Chain A
Amino acid sequence: MKAFWAIIKITFKSALRSHIFQLLLFVLALCVVFIPMTISGDGTAHGFIQISLKYSMSAVAFVLSLSSIWLGCQILSRDVENYELHMVVSKPTSRVSVWLAKWVGVCIIHLILLFVAAAVVYFAVIWQYKHRDFSKVEQERIDNEVMVGRRVFMPTLPDIDKLAEELLTKEKARADELGLDFDAKKAFRACKIKVSASFAEILPGKPRFWKYKNLPSDEKRPLYISYRFYVNKVDSSKQRLSHGIWGYGKPKFIEEKSEIEGKPPKRVFAGFDYFKENIPKQFMAGVFNELSLEKGLISPTGEVQIIFINTDRKGAPFFTQTADGPKLLVKVSTFGENYSRAVAVLSLQLIILAGLGCAAAAVLSMPTAVFVVMSYLLFGSIASYMVDTTYFGGAGDVIAYWVGKILLLAVIPMQKFEVTNYVANGELIELTLMGKLLLQYFVLRAVPFFLLGMWLYKRRELGLVIRK
């Protein structure tokens, strides 16, 4: 262990002497200190805190991610290129432990920086929340919508295939009636697109209905809906203020007489009573909006039902995407706990990036290793979007989908580790998500790369490069 720690120590010293690392440290310090102090926000108190959190954490994550890749590559390859590694491996230290010690060294230095930066951001945000002149209503909103950990429930999705089959049957009957040729495969695909589109679109004056399941039936605190609608088309530009009426299903109970005499009648859940608000609610299209719901909307079966009617004054349709919900949010943890989980996810991200850097530099020169890691991450990002495609317009889309699938067997889409949005929106970072990131991306994707890196490092011949 003495040798292991000695290498970790020397990794620290080497890191602190790297000019690029020093520059990144300076940028990190700027991000941590100046972003929370200089953000002006969107004009609302909760927006200000949200943006403060989001920008600060994103900047910290970005700078540290770059730094961990850079340092991971540099620490290993420079030792080889400068022949300093000759001296280390000619001592009784295995190359595997040299690799591990260097990786651990890079990880420790970045984790320390992350913890310090995260603590500064946390206290800066808390300080602003307490010392800014926010009204009580604004503070309450921040408490409920930002500085909180809320579990997210997504609406249950309709069975698109089943609905497409139903539509297909109708279309076939019509075609038969008119004596037209009918390509069942092509028609089914068209039906599916039509059904999917119908769920994404809310026509003017028409209602949309969403059902949520598995909510805690004993939850007495208010629920929140987070939604994003686009006017006319799914495009963040040219969006504007619009209106809509929200309605809710309120659980209905009937009294059932008890069979035992003298016992009071039982309250039995008997479906929902629907009601809607009288005044349309204004919202900004293209961004997430929040709406608090009254208490007691969760049925004993853990179900909530919500209705929305498009009352846009210009008669434009609204569009929404599956990821946009509307999401139903239930408070389950504190802001501190949620923030700690975000820091844990960022830590995992840095550990993976440092490891990828070390693995690449185990066999490649410094610039090549950085290029390879960056390309790997870019492939991961692209592959993730390729796989998320739901619309297949032709063979190109299908090929892209399968290429993405294959790529994802090996690459890590780092955007899955993007959790700053969760924290800024007060959405709980679920332990299941953290477990999935750990198992799916660290254990099954990253660790094999680390092992490959160690093996190549062990096999690598030293002293082949002519020293300048």
Chain B
Amino acid sequence: MADNKVPIVKSVGLTKIFRDFWNRPKARAVNDIDFDINEGEVLGLLGPNGSGKSTTVKMILGLLYPTAGSLTVFGRSPQTVEIKKNIGYLPEESYLYKHLTAAETLDFFGSLFNLSKEERQQRTEQLLDMVGLSHVRRRPVGEFSKGMARRIGLAQAMINDPDLLILDEPTSGLDPIGCKEVKDLIMLLKKRGKTVLITSHLLSDVEDICDRAIILYGGKIRAEGSLNNLLLDTEASRITMPLLKPEVTEKVITILRDNLAGEDFTIDHPRRTLEDFFLGVIDQAKADSVETSGVTSGGQIATFLNEEDEKSSAVLEELLDNKESAKPSESELKAKKEKDAKEAGKLKAEAENTKLEELTAEKTVESKEEEPVDEAESNVSEADEKLKDILG
């Protein structure tokens, strides 16, 4: 998807060696890495502690200087002041001025972007509302809980409506609602053609929102690519379908046993993720008007972040052109969900009498609706064909 995109961050042979007081090499935090971050993509930078993630981020921000190699951001040196107009940064911990209130913090960072007073006030209000901190706008940031500090940190990172957003552990310390809001926000920014770089230990978050991931270890890139390429297991198949009657299940098992020639296979019930379940419970509680004294769920996305500018419209258009089937609009999604539900219901009713071939055909239709994934897709089709043959 990003092949025809302009690289916003380009690193060639990037190396960072930390030295001691006597200038002797102490640690090679980043070791000769090459990578690009393309316009409009969400990139996950993953790795265990000490793998060089933060050092790479700090070099992108111009806080640390590369020992060797080259690094450009928006085509210029990371130390260039002008490029920072287009960058938003959420550090891994709250590095905000603790004595400033939430509103003062946003106003201060807005001033650093030379925003007018009116604009600062407007954005401050919208962002506080968006991150659910409007009711603590006059409380010093130093008194915030970790989750609240993440939210205000995220708000300050968005004050300039950045083209490149660097989020260091964005969901760390957030409750599942906050995590979902952050992920929604990132998806929205992606839709608007913004570029997002995320470093995180919470791999499920990265999996949900990233287009691409880079895995670092010992300062070197160990794996890089789109999540589909990295995660798809083309050596196994999975079929999801409505609940089968025991005798049908037995039949399927028999067919599989006969055809898999002693290879292991499992049939079980799909599980919802705990996150989905939790969000469902909270949504129900909200619908029942249960009150909370904690952070309120974020309000609407800040208007200025939702505004369609020419550039983002163009990017959005492009995205829609390229992946219309993969990225339907919200109304389309809703309509599709309703249709799927109806079809699922219908299928359930007819399940007993429907042949497995028909079910397989239905699965093929579903897989067609999924995002096309080049080589991986052909592997899936092959697998489907094989299954068809097996099932006779």
Min CB–CB distance A88 → chain B (angstroms):
7
B374 within 8 A of A: no
Closest to B156 in A: A87
- On whether the beta carbons of B95 and A3 are closer than 8 Å, the reply is no
- On whether the beta carbons of A3 and B58 are closer than 8 Å, the reply is no
Contact of B112 among A14, A86, A91 (CB under 8 A): A91
Contacts of B97 in A (CB 8 A): 10, 13-14, 84
B115 within 8 A of A: yes
Contacts of B99 in A (CB 8 A): 13-14, 17
- On whether the beta carbons of B64 and A462 are closer than 8 Å, the reply is yes
Q: A92-B81, A92-B84 are in contact. Are A3 and B65 (CB under 8 A)?
A: no
A6 within 8 A of B: yes
B311 within 8 A of A: no
Which of A3, A82, A87 gathers the greatest number of chain B CB atoms within 10 Å? A87
- On whether the beta carbons of A87 and B96 are closer than 8 Å, the reply is yes
Q: State the majority secondary structure of interface residues on B.
A: loop
B158 within 8 A of A: no
A461 within 8 A of B: yes
* A433-447 Cβ-contact flags toward B at 8 Å (1 or 0): 000000000000000
Which of A2, A10, A92 gathers the greatest number of chain B CB atoms within 10 Å? A92
Contacts of B62 in A (CB 8 A): 89-90
Q: Please provide the chain B residues from 92 to 107 with a CB less than 8 Å away from any CB of chain A in the complex.
A: 93, 95-97, 99-100
Interface size class of B (residues with CB under 8 A): 20 to 34
- On whether the beta carbons of B111 and A2 are closer than 8 Å, the reply is yes
Contacts of A86 in B (CB 8 A): 61, 63, 89, 91, 95
- On whether the beta carbons of A3 and B112 are closer than 8 Å, the reply is yes
Kindly state the separation between the CA atoms of A13 and B87 in the bound complex, as whole angstroms: 27
Contacts of A13 in B (CB 8 A): 97, 99-100
Interface residues of B (CB under 8 A from A): 18, 54, 58, 61-65, 81-82, 84-85, 87, 89, 91, 93, 95-97, 99-100, 108-109, 111-115, 156, 160
Contacts of A10 in B (CB 8 A): 97, 100, 108
A275 within 8 A of B: no
Min CB–CB distance B177 → chain A (angstroms):
26
- On whether the beta carbons of A467 and B93 are closer than 8 Å, the reply is yes
A94 within 8 A of B: yes
Contacts of A88 in B (CB 8 A): 112
Q: Please provide the chain A residues from 1 to 51 with a CB less than 8 Å away from any CB of chain B in the complex.
A: 2-3, 5-6, 9-10, 13-14, 17
Closest to B84 in A: A92
Closest to B105 in A: A87
- On whether the beta carbons of A3 and B64 are closer than 8 Å, the reply is no
- On whether the beta carbons of B95 and A82 are closer than 8 Å, the reply is yes
5 further A-B pairs in the complex, CB-CB below 8 A; given A10-B100, A14-B97, A463-B54? A3-B113, A6-B112, A87-B95, A88-B112, A90-B62
Q: A84-B95, A87-B95, A90-B87 are in contact. Are A463 and B114 (CB under 8 A)?
A: no
Kindly state the separation between the CA atoms of A174 and B81 in the bound complex, as whole angstroms: 80
Min CB–CB distance A163 → chain B (angstroms):
58
